[in-house]
Structure 1
Amino acid sequence: MADKTIVCKDCSKEFIFTEGEQAFYAEKGFENEPKRCPDCRRAKKNQSREF
């Protein structure tokens, strides 16, 4: 596996999906790559906790 560059669906910034992250996703059985950058993921997670 090699690092992948992905464009965030929320802010349109590019972020790197590292080999280590890819291995972690595979280990956990996740089939889809992340669609949001780490900052947007964190913001979305915090937003859902407010309700």
Structure 2
Amino acid sequence: MADKTLVCKDCGNEFVFTEGEQAFYKEKGFDNEPQRCAECRKARKQKNNNNRGFRR
């Protein structure tokens, strides 16, 4: 495996899907490559966590 350059579907910037990340994805059984860069994944996760209000 070699590093792959992918394009983020949110911001359109290129990011590198490293050989190590590819091995991790394969080990975990993930079939799809990431579609978002690390910054957009972090922002999306943060947004999702903020939208999970506590119910009483």
> TM class by shorter-chain length?
over 0.9
For structure 1, the residue ranges without an aligned partner over 5 or more in a row are: none
**Would you say how many aligned residue pairs link Structure 1 and Structure 2?**
51
Where does structure 1 differ by over 4 angstroms across 4 or more consecutive aligned residues? none
For structure 2, the residue ranges without an aligned partner over 5 or more in a row are: 52-56
Please state how far the C-alpha of 1:21 moved relative to its aligned partner.
0.1
Q: Residues 9-28 of structure 1: CA distance to partner in whole angstroms, max 9, x if unpaired?
A: 00000000000000000000
How much is the aligned-residue C-alpha RMSD, in angstroms?
0.4
Query: Sequence identity, in percent?
Result: 67
In structure 2, C-alpha distance between the alignment counterparts of 1:30 and 1:47, rounded to whole Å: 23
In structure 1, C-alpha distance between the alignment counterparts of 2:44 and 2:20, rounded to whole Å: 23
- 1:15 corresponds in structure 2 to 15
Give the TM-score taking structure 2 as reference length: 0.89
